[in-house]
A and B are shown apart, each in its own frame.
Chain A
Amino acid sequence: MKASLERLTERANDEDLLDVAYTTSDSPFGPLLLAATPRGLVKLGLPGHDPETVLEDLASRISPRVLEAPARLEQTRRELDLYFEGKLTEFALPLDWQLSRDFRRRALREIDRIPYGKTRSYTEIARGAGNERAVRAAGTACGANPIPIVVPCHRVLRSGGALGGYGGGLPMKEALLKLEGIL
């Protein structure tokens, strides 16, 4: 049965019937859920977020053609492994931004430009996204980041240097900042 299912996933991929491919990947923080469209990585589910709920959400927002297909996420998994080992400072994998719109997407694109080992304030992100006064909205954009770690919202701090918040919990944000030599 396993071989039949693998063949099916392969054929679905070849015939453009696989709209969202997903897999889980181990990390120092627990299992991550990785999901990609043909355009690129669209969602990274942090530990503590129920994978079933995440997949249901993707099914309704992108396409119900959601299949477990680890092969489509090999590069993502490899880059993440290297990142957690401290051997990769810039992700090269393609991203699909379709889950974020308007100001949020601009804010996340801004966050995506923060270099490894550097931080920005929520105010700077708001300014970069075109509205300096939308600091709170910049914070919301961070909280709603569909692709954390790869789009490094952990590098965004409060203006005074306080940590702010993190979808994966503050200990994880702290650990990522330590990994990058910021803390």
Chain B
Amino acid sequence: MTALPPFQTLLDEHAGDVMGVLRGAVGRGDAEDCFQETFLAALQAYPKLRDASNLRGWLLTIAHRKAIDHHRASGRRAVPVAEVVEVAVSDPEPDDGIWEKVGGLPPKQRAAVALRYGSDLPHSEIAAALGCSPEAARRSLHEGIKRLRRELA
């Protein structure tokens, strides 16, 4: 068992990735709330965490659950137009609206794409974060990419 590092280290090293994944999963407008919920839940559970060998995967798993909770709570709202406009005005990163498209994918595909391209995670860690086999993770990713290609074509 490795000692748990100061929680600040987790923020310094992984906050950007968690935010990236959440933006992909729930859209920019709601990512902030999910981000807060993710890290508060992590902080709550942290002292009892038994395995510190994959803190990044642990955080992304929590982020993924928070994103799913968020979608359940809001009943898969149709993309509100006001939100898209707001993003277009305030978004400093030119991403061609691709993440909004990712946000429209079915949950598993969306999470797989966000974890792969938002966080640069390998298939094994995506599988760990999604709680499925690496094969299933690969399939979700593949389906998601195929669908994005179709929509962007």
Contacts and interface: CB of A to CB of B under 8 A. Distances in A.
A22 B63 CA distance: 26
Interface residues of A, number: 22
Interface in B105-152: none
24 contacts: A1-B16, A1-B19, A4-B19, A4-B36, A5-B11, A8-B11, A8-B36, A8-B39, A11-B36, A12-B40, A17-B44, A22-B8, A55-B8, A56-B3, A56-B6, A59-B6, A63-B47, A64-B5, A64-B7, A64-B47, A65-B47, A66-B8, A67-B8, A68-B8
7 closest A-B pairs by CB: A66-B6, A64-B4, A59-B6, A55-B6, A17-B43, A67-B8, A68-B8
A66 B15 contact: no
Interface of A: 1, 4-5, 7-8, 11-12, 15, 17, 20, 22, 55-56, 58-60, 63-68
Given A58-B6, A64-B46, A5 B15 contact: yes
B91 interface: no
B12 to A, nearest CB: 9
A5 B40 CA distance: 11
B32 A65 contact: no
Most buried by A among B7, B19, B36: B7
Interface in B37-61: 39-40, 43-44, 46-47
Contacts of A11: 36, 40
